[in-house]
Structure formats: C-alpha cells, structure tokens
Amino acid sequence: MLLFKNLGRLASLLLLLLAACHSEASHPPELPTGTLAALRGTWLLQPEASHADTLTYRRNTYRFRYRPGGRAGFRLGPAGRFTRYDLVPSGGLLAQEGSWTETGTDRLLIHLPEIEPAEPDYELEVLSYQNGVLRVRRLPARPVVEVMRNN
C-alpha cells in the first residue's frame, strides 16, 4: 500500500513538471493575423537558417545545437517591454531593455533608450511564423519627427 502511495506522489510530481515545461507543440503552428502579441516570449537567432536580410528565430525552448559564445536574440514581454540580447566579444550576452509597440499589420517598433550612443528606433517586419519558426526583417531606422511648438 505504501508503494502505491509513493507512486501516486511521484506521478503527481511528474505531471506537474510536464505541465511546467514549454515545448514547441504548445505554441500555435501559425500566427493569427493581426496578433503580434502572441509572439510574446524569448526568441533566439538561428544564423544558420538566416539569409540576406531575413533573420530566423526560434523560441528559447527549441533544442539548438551548441554554438560557442551563445546566441543573440530578443524577448517580447507584456506591457510593451522589450529586451535585446547581443553577443559581447568576451563571451556571454548583453541585455538591453527597451519597449515595443505594434505599428501596423506584422510590424513592431523597437525603442532602446539604454544604448550608448543612442540607437534610432527601428521596425521589425514579421515575414512569417510557422511551426515555431519566426522570420523577420529589420527595416531601416525610422526618421525622427520633431514637434515644433508655438510659444
């Protein structure tokens, strides 16, 4: 009887651990139109699958091959929070905090105020999202709009 009680606890613990794990199957196979917020989470660059101006990302839960120095990426957080992860020459990642907003169909405006010297805002255009693979294109910097006030 004691054996069944311990097995029951073990099974409960195993189910809890499985529920906590995020697999590629838990993400929608395709992105519903106009819902870029569904891309929230951490995305890591897959340079071996990127071509020309198209960058390919996978969720951080994907089983990547080992890459010395790590992988660059970004995180789309709730309430417009954005974190960009850049590789540093000494190894490791540099996290840069900023914000994101949806500027139109399949476009995100990225603002990183912590970068020195300040980097202009830029847009990411979502080209496709299928089966856990996100393909984006970084668009040229947006022009700064000055607002003139009459005194």
Q: Name all domains of the chain by residue range, CATH numbers in brackets.
A: 2-138 (2.40.128)
pLDDT single digits (tens) 85-105 = 999 888 888 899 999 998 877
Predicted pLDDT at 143: 54
On the 0-12 / 13-18 / 19+ scale of CB atoms within 10 A, 60 is middle
The separation between CA 8 and the C-alpha centre of its own chain, rounded to angstroms, equals 38
Cβ neighbours for 24, distance < 8 A, ≥ 6 positions apart: 59, 61, 62, 131, 132
pTM over 0.85: no
Q: Which residue has the tokens 């949806």?
A: 102
Q: Which residue has the tokens 């080992």?
A: 66
Please tell me what DSSP assigns to residue 70.
Answer: -
Predicted pLDDT at 66: 85
Residue 19 sits at φ, ψ, to 5 deg, of: -70, -30
Helix, coil or strand: residue 25: helix
Residues with pLDDT less than 70, the chain: 1-35, 115-118, 141-151
